[in-house]
Amino acid sequence: MSSDQRRPGEILADQRRALARYLSCEVAPLSRHYGPVLERTGLRGGLASLDELARIPLTEPAELTDQDAVVLRPRDGNGAVGSLELRGRILWARLTRGPAHADREIIEPLYKPVQWIEHGGYLLGYTAEDLERLADLGRRWLQLAGLRRADRLLNVLAPAAGLPHWQLVLGCRRAGVAATHLGAPPDEAALARLSPTVLAGTPGDVERTLEVAARSGRRLAHLRTVLVAGAPPPADADRAHLAGLAGVDGDLAVVAAWAPPGARAVWAECRTGDALHTWPDSEVVEVVDPGSGRPVAEGQPGELVWTALGWRGTVLLRLRTGERGALVRSVPCATCGRGTPRVRRSTGVAGA
């Protein structure tokens, strides 16, 4: 079932159940950093409501000095990892095919990071399964932006942009959208040949690409969507500037994607929406008062705090992101009707 069709209340109930299972079956036994933390909070046995997450102390970026300590590592020897079903599979494989087979065929695909992706100063480990998840969140990003399978996407976001680049690459493939990943603004001839319907890049890269088109006298006549990523969502005036540069008539939307440093996938605006849809099956987002660290009421601005849900590889809980925003999660989106929680980023000073 597409999680987008659930009502906000159903999403929050699913999120609580998934988080309880995740903390007790994955993070507590497999994270060197968070195992003892969860032990002290008494949350190893699960949590009765999402509010109980606040019993876990906030993670300050400065305390993450040992990258390996926040990567989930299956304990060797005893097979005591994951759910009951997984432990059963591992035990059976060890008995029938030997420990090496169980490690290689079951534990490694689930727990070995196979790609490290940079996001805002964090180098995050992704397992093979995590990359499948990132691909699906990339697909949903494109779906929220209103892309169609017939679209032709030109990605000028550099691979050095890290997370948004990879989420877009994987998402295009998953969504079946034809894409050219150039990693930099093209010259006039290449741009005319590609004639994209979707242009993706940082606001600066998009601006340079549209200027190339304008200089050549050949506007991108088929362009209908601009995806901006790799930077915080631009202000309305900057979006209007990009749309003006594109100079195409009719339905051109500038749609942003962004998430605070440390998050495992970027969030995505829906087309013509004014907030970023988060991924409640993959994370828990909170907003806290930056001074006291206590959660604020829904819709109130504060510091964004990010918690992984279901990811393996690098797992961070209640990470202080240093970014400001407000979260709405109890009512559906007024633009697209989806029930997923949304964040509106703000640039004000602490608590403003």
Contacting residue, 163, 255, 270, 288, with Zn ion by CB under 5 A: 270
Contacting residue, 107, 153, 333, 343, with Zn ion by CB under 5 A: 333
Is residue 313 within 8 Å of residue 30, measured between CB atoms?
no
Q: Which range, of 13-21, 166-174, 189-197, 272-280, touches Zn ion by CB under 5 A?
A: 272-280
Q: From CA 328, how far away is CA 343, in angstroms rounded?
A: 7
Q: Which residue's CB is nearer to Zn ion, number 110 or number 275?
A: 275
Q: Which residue's CB is nearer to Zn ion, number 90 or number 137?
A: 137
Q: Which range, of 32-40, 156-164, 257-265, 266-274, touches Zn ion by CB under 5 A?
A: 266-274
Q: From CA 135, how far away is CA 117, in angstroms rounded?
A: 13
Residues 6+ apart with CB under 8 A from 323: 260, 261, 303, 304, 345
Whole-number minimum distance, CB 133 to Zn ion, in Å? 21
Is residue 261 within 8 Å of residue 322, measured between CB atoms?
yes
Query: By rule CB under 5 A, what count of residues binds Zn ion?
Result: 5
Residues 6+ apart with CB under 8 A from 266: 141, 163, 164, 167, 229, 257, 258, 259
Q: Which residue's CB is nearer to Zn ion, number 134 or number 144?
A: 144
Whole-number minimum distance, CB 261 to Zn ion, in Å? 24
What is the footprint of Zn ion within residues 133-162 (CB under 5 A)?
none
Q: Which residue's CB is nearer to Zn ion, number 179 or number 343?
A: 343
> Binding of Zn ion at residue 3 (CB under 5 A)?
no
Q: Which residue's CB is nearer to Zn ion, number 30 or number 336?
A: 336
Q: Which range, of 54-62, 81-89, 265-273, 280-288, touches Zn ion by CB under 5 A?
A: 265-273
Contacting residue, 335, 344, 346, 351, with Zn ion by CB under 5 A: 335
Length of the chain, in residues: 352
Whole-number minimum distance, CB 337 to Zn ion, in Å? 7
Q: Which range, of 64-72, 100-108, 130-138, 331-339, touches Zn ion by CB under 5 A?
A: 331-339
> Binding of Zn ion at residue 336 (CB under 5 A)?
yes
Q: Three-state secondary structure along 4-48? A: HHCCHHHHHHHHHHHHHHHHHHHHHHHCCCHHHHHHHHCHHHCCC
> Binding of Zn ion at residue 124 (CB under 5 A)?
no
Edge-to-edge order in the sheet of strand 283-288: 178-181, 152-155, 198-201, 225-228, 253-258, 267-269, 276-277, 342-346, 319-328, 302-308, 283-288
CA dihedral 304, 309, 312, 314 (to 10 degrees): 10
Interface positions with Zn ion (CB under 5 A):
270, 273, 333, 335-336
